């Protein structure tokens, strides 16, 4: 088979693909099937949602690699490159098995986000005056911890439930107050070594253990900061951390850790985040 015949066959393949695409588009009939626009819209939203989840993650580069392999495989089919097709067929089959393993963190985050059924979190249902009082009590305790270089980690829940985390600690269901938080994180007390979970206007539990993240931090950041980053990677919780060594205040949201903050920077920011008016980390 000479180059002219190969080129002709490739051209016919391209025309065949074009005809199939034209046939597919010709099937849309809005008069007989008025929901086809909705069908297209839902598919577009699904694709965009997947893009948002994978955007700026390591999975995005892996996805680009898979797309490149698919394009090469399509070209191999069009040009009838038998050896290349044989190899890529098995490579893509292996990728189908490997994708759930490779994308495990992203898939877990996506399913967790999809499972958030509440439109308003525990804090979002509180009146503004009540929420302001709660934030003031928490930040007042944080100030005390920072001044006295007392280590502390406080988790503020939003839409994602943390029942498994709560069950790892001691249930309290107590009113939020500066005095109680200071007592919980007093050195050598039974509850000081874990995290406090706050939901709405209650301290739900203390001495709770959070998942750690495998990520390198500065030399002066320890286990509490890794735990804060870990819990916010998989949930929409907000975590406040005070370093026992330096007394510096840190904030973790969405897996991102902002360090060396002042409580004056945090009050308005926390209030808006707990009311779901903004997302992100403090600057």
Tens of pLDDT, residue by residue over 140-173, are 999 999 999 999 999 998 877 787 788 889 999 8
Are 151 and 262 members of one domain? Answer: yes
CA distance 23 to 243: 64
Q: 139 and 77: one domain?
A: no
Would the pLDDT of 104 be above 80? Answer: no
> CB of 153 within 8 A of CB of 227?
yes
Are residue 132 and residue 219 in the same domain, yes or no?
yes
CB 237 within 8 A of CB 165: no
Q: Which residue has the tokens 């180059």?
A: 3
Say if 78 falls within a structural domain. Answer: yes
Is residue 5 situated within a structural domain?
Answer: no
End-of-domain residue from the set 88, 114, 140 = 114
What confidence score (pLDDT) does residue 11 get?
Answer: 43
Same-domain status, 260 and 197: yes
**Residue 283: inside a domain, yes or no?**
no
Is residue 172 within 8 Å of residue 164, measured between CB atoms?
no
Same domain, 144 and 210: yes
pLDDT tens digits, 268-281:
888 888 776 555 54
On whether residue 172 sits in a domain, the answer given is: yes
Whether pLDDT at 216 is above 60: no
Higher-confidence residue: 178 or 117?
178
Residue carrying structure tokens 């948002």? 52
Quick one: 138 and 261 in the same domain?
yes
If you ran DSSP here, which 8-state letter would residue 149 be given?
A: T
Say whether both 70 and 154 belong to one domain: no
Contact 88, 72 (CB under 8 A): yes
The per-residue pLDDT of the chain, averaged, comes to 75
Residues 155 and 88 occupy one common structural domain: no
What per-residue confidence (pLDDT) applies to 181?
A: 94
Where b means 16+ CB within 10 Å and e means fewer, 104-119 reads: eebeebbeebeeeeee
**Are both 183 and 208 inside the same structural domain?**
yes
Closest CA to 63 of 75, 74, 80, 47: 47
Last residue within a domain, chosen from 57, 85, 114: 114
110 lies in the same domain as 132: no
* pLDDT (0 to 100) of residue 143: 93
Q: CATH number for the domain including 227?
A: 3.40.1700.10
**Angle at Cα 271 formed by Cα 282 and Cα 176, nearest 5°?**
115
pTM, 2 dp: 0.59
CB neighbourhood size of 21 (10 A): 10
Largest CA distance in the chain: 87
Same domain for 75 and 196, yes or no, is no
Give the whole-angstrom CA distance, residue 143 versus residue 137. 10
CA distance 139 to 166: 22
Residue 244 above 80 pLDDT? yes
Q: How many domains does the chain divide into? A: 2
Stronger pLDDT, 240 or 190, i.e. the higher one: 240
Can you give the residue range of the structural domain that contains 197?
A: 128-274
């Amino acid at each position: 088979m000479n180059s002219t015949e190969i080129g002709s066959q490739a051209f016919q393949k391209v025309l065949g693909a074009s005809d199939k695409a034209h046939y597919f588009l010709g099937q849309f009939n809005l008069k007989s099937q008025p929901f086809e626009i909705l069908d297209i819209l839902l598919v577009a939203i699904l694709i965009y949602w997947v893009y948002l989840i994978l955007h700026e993650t390591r999975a995005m580069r892996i996805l680009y690699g898979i797309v490149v392999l698919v394009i090469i495989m399509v070209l191999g089919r069009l040009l009838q490159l038998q050896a290349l097709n044989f190899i890529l067929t098995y490579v893509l089959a292996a990728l189908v098995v490997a994708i759930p393993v490779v994308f495990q963190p992203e898939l877990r985050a996506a399913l967790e986000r999809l499972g958030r059924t509440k439109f308003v979190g525990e804090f979002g249902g509180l009146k503004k005056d009540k929420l302001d009082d709660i934030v003031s009590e928490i930040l007042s305790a944080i100030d005390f911890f920072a001044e006295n270089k007392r280590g502390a980690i406080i988790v503020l829940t939003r839409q994602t439930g943390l029942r498994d985390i709560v069950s790892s600690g001691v249930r309290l269901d107590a009113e939020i107050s500066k005095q109680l938080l200071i007592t919980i994180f007093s050195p050598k007390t039974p509850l000081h070594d874990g995290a406090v979970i706050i939901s709405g206007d209650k301290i739900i539990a203390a001495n709770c253990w959070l998942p750690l993240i495998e990520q390198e931090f500065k030399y002066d950041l320890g286990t509490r900061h890794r735990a804060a980053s870990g819990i916010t990677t998989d949930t929409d919780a907000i975590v406040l951390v005070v370093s026992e060594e330096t007394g510096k205040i840190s904030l973790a949201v969405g897996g991102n850790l902002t360090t060396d903050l002042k409580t004056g920077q945090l009050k308005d920011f926390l209030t808006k985040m707990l009311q779901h008016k903004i997302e992100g980390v403090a600057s």
